Amino acid sequence: MTRPDPGPSFAAWEEEGRMYARRNDVSSWDLGFWLVRGQGWSLDPGFKASSRITGRSRSHLHALYDVAVAFPEGPAAPHLAWITHKMLLRIKDLDLRDRVLGRAIAERWTSGELERYFAQHPPPSTYGKNKDRTGGTTNRHRRVQCPNCQHIFPMTGHKVKVPDGQ
């Protein structure tokens, strides 16, 4: 019995993976800009024609389009992946988005680091009630602001008695 080929070294395999990831980022930007250029055709009801042409889901095409419109110059920095730009769209306040983007560029954040930032600093657009799978509402993601220190806290569902006069 012969031994299977051990394959490339880890370093070669890692570099190949990085190359494919860069290609994916480039194709995401290219498809987004293609959708923007063809607005008359690509924005048909629900991106149907674009989905048929590319084989991509309509929700994915919508995300590609949104990122291309929000970042018309392309990637804000070479090290920021397309998904990082998509994640930044969670921030509706453009000034806040620019500040977070500037920090991500300066500190060379990955998408994972941006996700951790969002876990600690949820964008204001995520405050409030979210729908659960049954169509009801849940307070699981609701945030409340302290009237004294203005800090945002997750709502726990516990009732707190406030002394009279406060």
Band of residue 18 on the pLDDT scale cut at 50, 70, 90: confident
pLDDT tens digits for range 43-62: 666 688 888 888 889 899 89
Q: Are 99 and 88 in contact (CB under 8 A)?
A: no
Q: Across residues 161-166, what is the average pLDDT?
A: 50
Q: Which residue has the higher pLDDT, 8 or 162?
A: 8
At 153 the pLDDT is 57
At 126 the pLDDT is 46
What element of type H or E holds 55?
none
pLDDT tens digits for range 63-77: 999 999 999 999 998
User: What is the rounded distance in angstroms from the CA atom of residue 80 to the CA atom of residue 112?
Assistant: 11
pLDDT tens digits for range 122-133: 877 544 444 333
pLDDT more than 70, % of the chain: 66
How would you class 151 by CB atoms within 10 Å of its CB: exposed for 0-12, middle for 13-18, buried for 19 or more? exposed
Compute the C-alpha angle 89/137/114, nearest 5°. Answer: 25
At 139 the pLDDT is 44
Confidence (pTM) = 0.63
* Rounded-to-5 percentages of helix, strand, coil across the chain: 55, 5, 40
Q: Across residues 141-156, what is the average pLDDT?
A: 58
Q: Are 143 and 127 in contact (CB under 8 A)?
A: yes
Helical ranges in 107-161 per DSSP H:
111-120
Q: Across residues 71-88, what is the average pLDDT?
A: 91
Mean per-residue pLDDT over the chain, rounded: 76
